[in-house]
A and B are shown apart, each in its own frame.
Chain A
Amino acid sequence: MIDHESHVLILDGFKVDKLSNFKSLVWTFASLLGVPMVQNHLGHKVIEVYDRGGESIEEGSRYHQTRQGAYVHNDGVSDPLPIDYLILACGQKALLGGESILIDASAVYAELMAFPEVLEELKCDFFFENRGMSEDEQLFKAPILSFSSEGIPLIRYFRVYIESAHLKAGVPLTAAQTQALDFLDTVLNQSSVQHRVLLEPEQVLISADNKFLHTRTHFIDMNAPRSEINEAERLSDLNRYMLRIWLRKQ
């Protein structure tokens, strides 16, 4: 269904009480669905998405450690090989905000067909970085826009990481590249291509990562942020809490 029809779906009914049970249930489900991928330099294959109360994204934090809304992006931008599926499981929602914004790459492509020079630029290589994936910083090149063998548009995009990678490479973005990113961002911010959902506890979002971009809105939690959470805690006592898993096909 995800590969050939909707590219994204929400699975409901993952009802558990304690955090430890939630983790093992979501992990069991995900590892039956695909091969979990490493997501950081520590080798972790499950990432807990919640506000630690630390630095901002601009100061170097990764998106999942903050409560900031972010730029529209895919998750699999830090690895030269794309991930196939993003799993985002909701353990608790925020007091306010934290909506997921979902955008089909095909819709973005359809909007940009009126600007062929922008599409051509996006098909060329940009620099990306392996932020958070390894202690050894590596840059690599990849196009933002490509196509599957069936002709479905695929997007690899996280503007902050691209700009950072170009700075580190000593290769500033050209005026044409910057303009192409501006056009892409403008389309990504149009309500006509966006679908908003507020994930509820017990819901699991599954998306084909390079066919469906996403972001979230800024959120405010019920309680003060914490850097660590006890496994024995009840989900109902937590601030906004998600588990993120990246999968490749079996």
Chain B
Amino acid sequence: MNINVSNFRQEVSKVRLSKVAFAELLTVRELFEIGSQGVRFDTKVAYINPLQSSVLSEELNRI
């Protein structure tokens, strides 16, 4: 087997969501909070509509 050790990086990449993506994340969170009232928050998951949150969707895919 050819072992690939070329991916080792000493530096940890630091990135930040763009302002638009973060605003879209906050909107998704608001919808999630409305839909999860009265239950422990980690029993439901959030969903993204790629049409309504296109920038966030694209930036998540890059991660």
Contact surface of A with B, Cβ cutoff 8 Å: 1-2, 4-13, 23-25, 27-29, 31-33, 35-36, 44-46, 102, 104, 106-107, 109-110, 147, 150-153, 195, 197, 206
Contacts and interface: CB of A to CB of B under 8 A. Distances in A.
Interface string B1-26: 11111111111111111000010011
Nearest to A202: B16
B12 A110 contact: no
B63 interface: yes
Interface residues of B, number: 36
26 contacts: A1-B62, A1-B63, A5-B7, A6-B13, A7-B7, A10-B13, A10-B15, A11-B63, A12-B16, A13-B16, A28-B29, A31-B46, A32-B47, A32-B60, A33-B63, A36-B42, A46-B42, A104-B7, A104-B9, A106-B8, A109-B5, A110-B5, A110-B8, A151-B2, A152-B4, A195-B10
Contact of B33 (A24, A36, A197): A24
Interface of chain A: mostly helix, strand, loop or mixed = mixed
Interface string B28-45: 110011000000111101
Interface string B51-63: 0000010001011
Contacts of B41: 23-24, 27, 46
A28 B28 contact: yes
Contacts of A106: 4-8
Contacts of B33: 24
A28 B13 contact: no
